Every structure is written in structure tokens, then in C-alpha cells.
Chains A and B, each alone.
Chain A
Amino acid sequence: MSDQRPLPRGDAMENLVIAQMRADLRAARRRRRLGIPGWSILATATAAIVAVVAITVSMLATPTPTYAATPPMLQIEAAPAGQGDAAELLTDLAEQLRTSDEPDPAPPGQPQQIDVQTWGLVTTVGAEGEKVPPPYVAPENMTLTRYPDGAWSQVVVAGTPYDTQGKPVDAPTATPPGTELWRIDEAAGEHTYLFPDPLPEDPDELRQLMLDVGFADESSPNEWLSLTTALLLERVLRPSEEAALLEVLADLDLDLAGTTTDRLGREAYVFETPASDAGFVDRMLVSPSGHILAMETVWVGHDRTDIPSPSVVSYYAWEGRT
């Protein structure tokens, strides 16, 4: 805990100086009545003006912190009346999915392909010299393919960079959109899956399956959403599987933050966790038809100097699951 008092703001300092000038003028009048020379009043006033100018200049010269570019925060509007309870809404959306006649997006025996736009804040630790973060956000487009024999492919290409307001930018130093950044191809048996088998459609069984994968703290809603993200990066879910997942998540301590338009232009409900001990809020965006569209992590802490608070530190926006 700091014992330093906060410094007065610039306008407060100015008021202090002006008050001092008035006090000096009153004293000068008293001195004049007593025969004190006027030059001392002029000297005092000059010193005060110099002080005001010095304060103003020092404020203008104070360097503003250089923050890493992060995506704009989602614009979240209050949920419609009668939809204030996260658990109830998630349960309703799950029921809607269960009773829908949506076809299985990934029939057995077919490769499953997951397309997702993703971005994550990169922090370099221990680099010599100052590392200047790029003044733009460089998302990546990732295609994950899971083959019936267990083979795995992950291809990551550069997306279109945008500024902190979300507007596309022509950044000469950015990797051209569409450029392959890296890829991983693993033959059958080489990739370790967290969820190797189709998911149970019963929420209790699915909850147990997720617990078996492992948590550092199974009471943390942030970890449940993190594991949900991992699941959605591995498997294309049938509507009944996704319904069971929503029912599992309905038991968490989530809040319905409201509705929004996600980074790919889709309408969504926003469910969010309380802030974790490390200062992170995780958000899950779900479409009105009950599909999980995106996940985001927002830092809301107060002890970092590389990003302002709050800031988006990572997001996933699923574009296609087939």
C-alpha cells in the first residue's frame, strides 16, 4: 500500500497559485497602507505566472504510455426485459437446440473442419531493448481439421489487420492477409485429443467428462469457459451435444451481460464470468439459435502498464463448423 498522497491535478495547482496571488495582493495593499514598495508585488506576480506556465508545460511534456494495440471492446446493450437470468436463458437456448431439426453438421466418418478467427495479445519477456508493439491488431484465420482416423491439421494464415477502433488498416509492416504463418500436420495417433470421442448428450455425463479432463480449480467459471474453448477447437458438435454443453454452462456463476454484435457481424447474447483473481473476465457469445459463436477474454485488472484496463487480450470467433 502506498503512503504517497495523490498529486494535485493541474487545474487544482493553478487554483492554488491564483489563490496565492490574491493573498499576495491583499498583503500588498496592507503593505502599501504601511508603506511597503510595489516592486515586491510585481515580483510575486511574475513568480506566480512563471509557476503556472511551468506546471502547464510539465503536464504537456508528460509522456503518454505506449499501449499495445488491442481490439475494440464489444458494444454491449442491456438484454431485453425478462431475459435477465443467465442460467434460465442458457437452459432455454439448450432446449431450443434440442428440439430443432438442424442436421448433424459433422456426420460420422467425415472429416470435421473448424474455421475460426482468432487473436491473442503477445507479450515478450526478457527481450533486450525496447520492443515497440505494432500499432494495429493482426488477427489470424485458423483452419482445424480432424480426420476420422485421428489425423490432425492446423493451418494458420494472416487475417486483415485493423486498428484499435476496428477499422481495417493498410499496415506496411503487417504480414499480407492470406499468408500462411504456420501449420501443423499430424498423422493418425500423433495428436493428443482432450475429447477423443463423441460427447454425451446428457449434461451430467458431459460435466463429468469435462471434470475428468482436469481443472486447476473446478469452481472457476473462467476455467470452464477455457475448457469449452478447447472443446470447440477440437470437435464439431451435433445440436444435441451443444445443447448439453449449454446446460452444463448454465450451472456456472455466469452473468447475462446483454446483447451485442460480434466481430464477424452476428447478433449474440453475451454471458460473462466474474473477474478472476488474476483480473480476467471471460465472455461467451451465443447466437439466438443457441450456437456458441465466440469467446473473449478481457483484462480488467489494475497492475499492468502494457495495456489499459479494460482490454481484450484474446478472442475466438468461429466462422464455420462442418
Chain B
Amino acid sequence: MISRKFMSLLALPVLVGAVALSASPAAATTDATQDQVDAVIAEFGGTQTAANEVSWDDGAVVLTIAAQTTSRGITAFAVGGCPSGTFCAYSGTSYTGSRLTFTACTTGNSVAALGTVRSLANARGTGTVRAYDGWATVATLGPNTGTASVAAGTDKINCS
């Protein structure tokens, strides 16, 4: 049973729902996110099942701590600096250089504004991101993963 106190958690910037869990070497967790996870477990129990997730009842209830930007502009959870819930293309390797941040899954997001694409990040909790060179797929990224270097020639990316 979910207590009223637990329901008050919903006032926090969190998302509750079943999500695909994905361990990712590129997923980066800040201390702020871990602090929130620790606070939730201390108060309500549960098990940490991902860097930003706590589960109850064998995954029947999953708390996902969403991207949180503080008043000082710190993004709490991201892949290579890509804000949580979005996917990003970078002009440099290792998530550097100019960045295009996409917030919606529309068809054929052009990356021409970067000139060249050298790395990609999918900072969404679910779904995949694909990078294309023409019709050829050059990279496929699972949730909360990134690729620090991508083949030259990427001209569009989309997600599903």
C-alpha cells in the first residue's frame, strides 16, 4: 500500500512508472541524485535498482528521479552533460563541442547546424536513438547511454 507520505513524494520532480532498466557505463550520476535516492530509501524503504531509480514490490512500483535543474543551474542527472529526458548530438568526441539537444522524437532531426557530429547521448529513460548517414544506421543508443565517438558523416538522428 502506498502511504500518503509516499504520495507526497510526487510533489518532488520525479516520475513514477515502470521503465526499462539499463546499466550504462556512460550514465553519470551526480551526488545530488544519489542523495535523493538515499533520502527516499531512508524514509520509505525500497531498493535502488538504477542510478536514479528506487523500486518496491519487485518492481511493481518504480520511482525514477527525473532531471532536476536547481536554482544554480545544476542538472542532476545526465549522460555526458545531455539533460535527462532529451537526446543530444555533439560536434566533438567525448560529449564536447557544440551541442544540439532534442526534446521530441520527430522524424529525421537534422544535425546540419553542428557541421559535423562526433558523439551522441541518449539521456532518456526509455526508447532508442539512432544516428544515420543517409539511409545507413551508424549508431544505435539504448536508454541512458552514449557513444563518445561516432563515425563521420552522421546527418540526422531520431528516436523511438
**A residues engaging B (CB < 8 A)?**
118, 120-128, 134, 142, 144, 154, 156, 172-176, 179-184, 186-187, 190-192, 194, 214-216, 222-223, 226, 229-230, 233-234, 276, 278-280, 297, 304, 313-314, 316
Chain A residue with Cβ nearest B149: A194
Q: How far is the CB of A8 from chain B (nearest CB, A)?
A: 33
Query: Please, how many angstroms separate the alpha-carbon atoms of A253 and B20 in the complex?
Result: 49
**Contacts A156-B81, A174-B73, A179-B74; is A123 near B113 (CB within 8 Å)?**
yes
Contacting residues of chain B (59-118) with chain A, CB-CB under 8 angstroms: 71-75, 78, 80-81, 86, 90-104, 106, 109, 112-113, 115-116, 118
**B residues engaging A (CB < 8 A)?**
25-26, 28, 30-31, 71-75, 78, 80-81, 86, 90-104, 106, 109, 112-113, 115-116, 118, 133, 147-149, 151-153
Q: Are B25 and A154 in contact (CB under 8 A)?
A: no
Query: Please, how many angstroms separate the alpha-carbon atoms of A91 and B83 in the complex?
Result: 43
A-B pairs with beta carbons under 8 Å apart, 13 shown: A120-B90, A120-B96, A181-B74, A184-B25, A222-B116, A229-B93, A233-B93, A233-B96, A276-B115, A297-B91, A313-B98, A314-B92, A316-B92
For residue B147, which residues in chain A have a CB less than 8 angstroms away from its CB? 192
**Contacts A184-B28, A276-B115, A316-B92; is A123 near B101 (CB within 8 Å)?**
yes
Q: How far is the CB of B116 from chain A (nearest CB, A)?
A: 6
Interface of B is mostly: loop
For residue A280, which residues in chain B have a CB less than 8 angstroms away from its CB? 115
With contacts defined as CB atoms under 8 Å apart, how many contacts are there between chain A and chain B in the complex? 127
Q: Are A182 and B30 in contact (CB under 8 A)?
A: yes
Q: Are B30 and A191 in contact (CB under 8 A)?
A: no
**Contacts A184-B80, A186-B25, A233-B92; is A297 near B98 (CB within 8 Å)?**
yes
11 extra interface residue pairs, beta carbon distance < 8 Å, beyond A175-B73, A192-B149, A214-B152: A121-B99, A122-B98, A123-B100, A126-B106, A144-B94, A179-B74, A186-B25, A222-B116, A229-B97, A316-B92, A316-B96
Q: Are A215 and B152 in contact (CB under 8 A)?
A: yes
Q: Are B92 and A226 in contact (CB under 8 A)?
A: yes
For residue B151, which residues in chain A have a CB less than 8 angstroms away from its CB? 214
Q: Are B98 and A126 in contact (CB under 8 A)?
A: no
Q: How far is the CB of A159 from chain B (nearest CB, A)?
A: 13
Q: How far is the CB of A171 from chain B (nearest CB, A)?
A: 9
For residue B26, which residues in chain A have a CB less than 8 angstroms away from its CB? 184, 186
Q: How far is the CB of B33 from chain A (nearest CB, A)?
A: 11
Query: Please, how many angstroms separate the alpha-carbon atoms of A226 and B116 in the complex?
Result: 8
Partner of A176, one of B72, B98, B99, B115: B72
For residue B101, which residues in chain A have a CB less than 8 angstroms away from its CB? 122-125
Query: Please, how many angstroms separate the alpha-carbon atoms of A175 and B133 in the complex?
Result: 36
Among B30, B73, B78, B112, the most chain A Cβ lie within 10 Å of the Cβ of B73
Q: Are A126 and B102 in contact (CB under 8 A)?
A: yes
Q: Are B109 and A125 in contact (CB under 8 A)?
A: yes
Query: Please, how many angstroms separate the alpha-carbon atoms of A179 and B81 in the complex?
Result: 13
Q: How far is the CB of A90 from chain B (nearest CB, A)?
A: 22
For residue B152, which residues in chain A have a CB less than 8 angstroms away from its CB? 214-216, 223
Query: Please, how many angstroms separate the alpha-carbon atoms of A183 and B91 in the complex?
Result: 19
Chain A residue with Cβ nearest B81: A182
Query: Please, how many angstroms separate the alpha-carbon atoms of A125 and B104 in the complex?
Result: 8
Query: Please, how many angstroms separate the alpha-carbon atoms of A128 and B28 in the complex?
Result: 26
Chain B residue with Cβ nearest A152: B148
